[in-house]
Amino acid sequence: MSENAIFPPSPEFVSKAHVQGMEQYRKLYREAAGNPEAFWADIAKREIHWFEPWDHVFEWNPPFVKWFAGAKTNAAYNCIDRHLEARGDKVAILWEGEPGDVREITYKELHRLVCRFANVLKARGLKTGDRAIVYMPMVPELPVALLACARLGVIHSVVFGGFSAEALKARIQDLDACMVITADGGWRRGKEVRLKDAVDEAVQECPGVQNVIVHQRTKSQIPMREGRDHWWHELEEGVSDDCPAVPVDSEHPLYVLYTSGTTGQPKGILHTTGGYLTAILMTMKWVFDLREEDVYWCTADIGWVTGHSYVVYAPLAAGATTVMYEGAPDYPDYGRFWQTVAKHKVSIFYSSPTAIRALIKQGEKWPAMHDLSSLRLLGSVGEPINPAAWEWYYRVIGKNRCPIVDTWWQTETGGILIAPMPGAVPLKPGSGTLPLPGIIAEVVDFSGNPVAANQEGFLIIKRPWPSMIRTIWGDPERFQQQYFSRIPGVYFTGDAARQDEDGYFWILGRVDDVMNVSGHRLSTMEVESALVRHPAVAEAAVVGKPHEITGQAVCCFVTLKAGDYDLPALNKELRQWVAHEIGAFARPEEIRFAEALPKTRSGKIMRRLLREIVTTRTVTGDVTTLEDLTVVTRLAAQNDEE
């Protein structure tokens, strides 16, 4: 498909959309740009419940911002209580376990579950401002735990269930958390993923953790440590079904979510309450054109930001029915996604390019077996979607009638910033199209000057928006330095992009040492640090290598300490080692043993050259600072031996 293909919204879609046609989009955009205070204040008043009003709409002292400071609100109240009257019997969470078990939890029932668990947390001594780690499978108790924390003003931090004990420990320690909420395990591809084992290993070195609460999912045998570990269902016996939501300041932290940066140390991205809720709820309505009767399914794991914002908080704040699925998309067969869409009559389906590409590979027979006529809108997030995958998604899944919203955003942005409003903005496959109202995005050069149309540059956001990162937990200097120092005073995204002649944004990928594997962020340094902890490894350099399905794959160049090694066995061992140190999703695709790594004269590893070797199989870039050119020729020659 040509890059110039344009898909305007169908008149039928436009006629029912919240924002109808380009004129309406432009009007909203102009209003927001002209008077952001009035624009956001209006939305916040209309969309969010406040116990008390704010002093100022926002205060901007770069890099720090406050939205609606002084106002009192509560995220759980906004996601549950205020819907009870009008939507008490509507299904809030429609959950399907991998074995096929289904739970339909209404807003009333969600209220009961969240209140009961909040009472459990209270009884264990948790209070506003404490930190709880949540390390759980995709079961309804996961959002229940988050909302129970939010109800009390306890700051939650979800650690994706695929992370290792080591990674879990680092996060517990960085946050100084006093509680871990977990489960015995979860189901994935018919096997149990044992979570409690990893918790036991992690908390050995976390003396601050006084309580571990364990939800029973798989019913397998797990050790429980007297005094520290408690079964969720046992603690709930006899607790009250009511627990008032604590009004917290709009700027009270809602959660910390760790993501990879350019160092080996993951950073805790802090999101607060009022601004975050306002922006994600509004983007949910704008981008997914949400209607009362929609059945909305975002396939992301709640362990990542997409799951926080668009599985839990935005759909529930909007009073929608949000679908949650526990397991793998290919279990028991490659039709699982499509079978689930048909079974629950999903109308909005939001997934990742990696998942789409993996399913394309299995052929059209899988979607053909299921009735997909309930779908009306498709979404994509996490990485650029290539036009071929877009075309398949549009034709085979959407039957040429469902717009695809390609949503660009980041853990740091909290919510979607660049995406089409589907009843207004014509689509171009592979482009996130135009920024949402209130978002001033630009593509600039090193000095911060806008580049011409179709020129590559850095993507920046010029003004603060309500759901933006507030700081890095415990490290405000790193926050300032990472996001606001490249171009002083404006938010630096770390992505390269270009804007075409229609102003459409095309994201070209990261400009830093961050890889994007299956839409998951991973730092090259994190993998390198894991590798050099292995006794045989002297040095390691890691780069992302283009991959047909996962977008990028982890490729490691490794030099060994002196010794005799069985290289094929060591190769396997090192891949396993990284999976154990970080998590299975970080397992390298490839380990290449090298005699030496290319370095500058000052001893810095030149990853740029390695990237070039794995991408283009040759080196054409500037090598004038390279210490030993033969290292590169030898590494490049390895390509030909493959």
Min dist. Cβ of residue 429 to ligand PRX (A):
12
Residue 158 · residue 146 · CB < 8 Å: yes
Comparison of 258 and 577: residue with beta carbon closer to ligand PRX: 258
CB of 418 to ligand PRX, least distance (A): 8
Q: For residues 629 and 631, what is the distance between their CA atoms, to the nearest angstrom?
A: 5
The minimum distance between CB 502 and ligand PRX, in angstroms, equals 17
Which lies closer to ligand PRX via its Cβ, residue 417 or residue 613? 417
SS3 240: coil
User: Considering the rule CB under 6 A, would residue 71 count as an interface residue with ligand PRX?
Assistant: no
Residues present in the chain in total: 642
Instruction: Give the nearest distance from C-beta 419 to ligand PRX in angstroms.
Output: 8
Examine residue 162 and tell whether it contacts ligand PRX (CB under 6 A): no
Distances in whole angstroms, Cα of residue 216 to Cα of each of 137, 194, 231: 11, 12, 7
Shortest reach from residue 67's CB to ligand PRX, in Å = 20
Residues 511 to 530 in contact with ligand PRX, rule: CB under 6 A: 516, 521
Shortest Cβ 436–ligand PRX spacing (Å):
13
Tell me which residue has tokens 């700081």. 471
The stretch among 128-136, 227-235, 381-389, 590-598 that binds ligand PRX (CB under 6 A) is 381-389
Separation CA 137–CA 192 (nearest Å): 10
- Among positions 137, 161, 274, 382, the unique one binding ligand PRX when judged by CB under 6 A: 382
Contacts of 602 (CB under 8 A, 6+ apart): none
Which residues within the stretch 80-119 sit at the binding site for ligand PRX (CB under 6 A)?
none
Q: Closest distance between ligand PRX and the C-beta of residue 182, in Å? A: 23
User: Quick one: which segment of 311-319, 405-413, 576-584, 586-594 binds ligand PRX (CB under 6 A)?
Assistant: 405-413
The window from 130-138, 471-479, 504-512, 625-633 that contacts ligand PRX (CB under 6 A) reads 504-512
Name residues whose C-beta falls within 8 Å of residue 94's C-beta, 6 or more positions apart in sequence: 102, 103, 104, 105, 295, 321, 322, 323, 324, 344
Write down the least CB distance from residue 468 to ligand PRX, Å: 13
Task: Kindly tell me which of 351 and 493 has the beta carbon lying closer to ligand PRX.
Answer: 493
Q: Which stretch binds ligand PRX (CB under 6 A): 129-137, 166-174, 375-383, 554-562?
A: 375-383
Q: How far is the CB of 567 from ligand PRX (least distance, A)?
A: 34
A 10 A CB-CB count for 490 gives 21
Per CB under 6 A, contacts with ligand PRX among 416-435 are 432
In 3D space, the residue among 90, 182, 85 whose CA is nearest the CA of residue 132 turns out to be: 182
Q: List the interface residues with ligand PRX, window 463-502 (CB under 6 A).
A: 493-495
Side-chain-side CA neighbours of residue 56 (13 Å): 6
Strands 551-560 and 131-135: unpaired
Q: Are 204 and 173 in contact (CB under 8 A)?
A: no
Contact 75, 254 (CB under 8 A): yes
Q: Which is nearer to ligand PRX, 132 or 405 (CB)?
A: 405
State the residue for tokens 């020129």. Answer: 455
**Distance in Å, CB of 353 to ligand PRX, minimum:** 8
Least separation in angstroms between CB 510 and ligand PRX: 5
Tell which one of 73, 106, 347, 407 touches ligand PRX (CB under 6 A): 407
Instruction: Figure out which of the listed residues 306, 340, 482, 550 binds ligand PRX, where binding follows CB under 6 A.
Output: 306
Stretch in the footprint of ligand PRX (CB under 6 A) among 5-13, 68-76, 144-152, 379-387: 379-387
**Cα–Cα distance between 156 and 177 in angstroms, integer?**
9
The alpha-helical segments, DSSP class H, found in 246-370 are 274-288, 305-307, 314-317, 336-344, 353-360, 365-368
Of 411, 482, 550, 571, the one binding ligand PRX by CB under 6 A: 411
384 is a site residue for ligand PRX (CB under 6 A): yes
410 lies in the binding site for ligand PRX (CB under 6 A) = yes
Q: Which candidate, 511, 533, 519, places its Cα nearest to that of 582?
A: 533
Asked if residue 184 lies in contact with residue 216, where contact means CB atoms within 8 angstroms, the answer is: yes
Q: Minimum distance between the CB of residue 244 and ligand PRX, rounded to whole angstroms? A: 33
| Residue choice 28, 91, 120, 305 for contact with ligand PRX (CB under 6 A) | 305
Pick the stretch among 176-184, 236-244, 335-343, 409-417 that binds ligand PRX (CB under 6 A).
409-417
Strand order in the sheet with 404-407: 102-106, 91-96, 321-325, 295-298, 348-351, 377-381, 404-407
- Convert residues 235-274 into a mask of x (bound to ligand PRX by CB under 6 A) and - (unbound): ------------------------x---------------
In the set 507, 531, 553, 558, which binds ligand PRX (CB under 6 A)?
507
Q: Is 301 in the site for ligand PRX (CB under 6 A)?
A: no
Burial class (CB in 10 A: 0-12, 13-18, 19+), 204: exposed
Size of the site for ligand PRX (CB under 6 A): 22
Q: Which of 383, 442, 513, 581 binds ligand PRX (CB under 6 A)?
A: 383
Task: Indicate the Cα dihedral angle 80, 85, 90, 92, nearest 10°.
Answer: 0
Residue 408 touches ligand PRX, criterion: CB under 6 A: yes
Q: Which residues contact 507 (CB under 8 A, 6 or more apart)?
A: 384, 408, 432, 459, 495, 496, 497
Closest to ligand PRX by CB, 305 or 356: 305
Half-sphere exposure of 82 (CA within 13 A, CB side): 17
User: Binding mask 545-564 vs ligand PRX (x if CB under 6 A, - otherwise)?
Assistant: --------------------
432/588 with CB nearer ligand PRX: 432
Nearest residue to the partner ligand PRX, using Cβ: 411
Structure-derived torsion over alpha carbons of residues 495, 501, 36, 467, reported in degrees to the nearest 10: -30
Shorter beta-carbon distance to ligand PRX: residue 164 or 352: 352
Task: Write the DSSP symbol of residue 503.
Answer: -
Question: Of 83-91, 204-212, 503-511, 587-595, which part binds ligand PRX (CB under 6 A)?
Answer: 503-511
The whole-angstrom separation of Cα 513 and Cα 322 is 34
With contact defined as beta carbons under 8 Å apart, do 620 and 612 qualify?
yes
Q: Within 13 Å and on the Cβ side, how many CA atoms surround 169?
A: 15
Contacting ligand PRX (CB under 6 A), which of 54, 296, 334, 409?
Answer: 409
Whether the Cβ atoms of residue 17 and residue 289 lie closer than 8 Å to each other: yes
> Can you give the binding site for ligand PRX, defined by CB under 6 A?
259, 305-306, 381-384, 406-411, 432, 493-495, 507, 509-510, 516, 521
